[in-house]
Amino acid sequence: MSEHQHTAVPRSAEEPDAVTGTAPAAGSPGPSRRRAVGIVGAAAVGAVTLSACGGGGEKTDGAASPSGPTSPTDVAAAADVPVGSGISVDTDGVQAVVAQPTEGTFTAYSPVCPHQGCSVNPAKKQFVCPCHSSVFDLATGDVTGGPASTGLTPYPVKVEKGRVIVG
């Protein structure tokens, strides 16, 4: 068979077209080879796109993560961290989310969501991942809503002379 010859893909007259949803006219040979390949290609792209979202599995690909503290780093004024909420910081190579769940109590965590590696954001009394909506407790870093199944990585934190020190 030459490269320009096509064979018909047999299908019943009642079977609807996968793309248009309409049944072929009686005696129609079905989709062309080019159309059939296009349909298969589109399905493959859709499958790859869905798998990129992650099936709920934890991040294990070794993707780059924000720097954790290697030494104590002054990241913010304690007064800049609202009670019952938190802030994102990126100071001297240290990236973290810092919270004050109750007055005078401070916490700090890696901002990396353990699900797929997106950076979480403070939102009222929790941290929320904008990519897949995982939710984490301000006080403990524990996951309170999936798809993440583990909490945020804690960082040491203290307040000295009105400054939040992480690391």
Question: Which CATH number characterizes residue 120's domain?
Answer: 2.102.10.10
CA distance linking residue 159 with residue 95, whole number of Å: 17
CA distance linking residue 140 with residue 159, whole number of Å: 18
Residues 106 and 47 grouped into a single domain = no
Flag whether pLDDT at 45 surpasses 50.
no
What's the confidence (pLDDT) of residue 141? 95
Flag whether pLDDT at 62 surpasses 50.
no
Residues 80 and 4 grouped into a single domain = no
CA distance linking residue 157 with residue 154, whole number of Å: 9
Is residue 18 included in any domain, yes or no?
yes
Is residue 36 included in any domain, yes or no?
yes
Is residue 152 included in any domain, yes or no?
yes
The total number of structural domains in the chain stands at: 2
From the CA atom positions of the chain, what is the Rg in Å? Answer: 26
Is residue 5 included in any domain, yes or no?
yes
Residues 48 and 90 grouped into a single domain = no
CA distance linking residue 81 with residue 107, whole number of Å: 10
Is residue 124 included in any domain, yes or no?
yes
Q: How far out from the chain centre does Cα 4 lie?
A: 45
Q: For tokens 């007064």, what's the residue?
A: 79
Residues 87 and 161 grouped into a single domain = yes
State the average pLDDT over residues 77-102.
Answer: 95
Residues 109 and 36 grouped into a single domain = no
What's the confidence (pLDDT) of residue 54? 38
Residues 44 and 116 grouped into a single domain = no
Flag whether pLDDT at 23 surpasses 90.
no
Cα atoms found within 13 Å of the Cα of residue 151, Cβ hemisphere only: 15
Lowest model confidence (mean pLDDT) among 37-51, 68-82, 88-102, 104-118: 37-51
State the average pLDDT over residues 36-50.
Answer: 39
Q: Which residues contact 2 (CB under 8 A, 6 or more apart)?
A: none
Is residue 42 included in any domain, yes or no?
yes
Residues 86 and 42 grouped into a single domain = no
Residues 21 and 85 grouped into a single domain = no
Is residue 68 included in any domain, yes or no?
no
**pLDDT 10s digits, 110-151:** 999 999 889 999 998 999 999 999 999 999 999 999 899 999
Is residue 84 included in any domain, yes or no?
yes
Structural domain including 115 reads: 73-166
What's the confidence (pLDDT) of residue 137? 96
Flag whether pLDDT at 88 surpasses 90.
yes
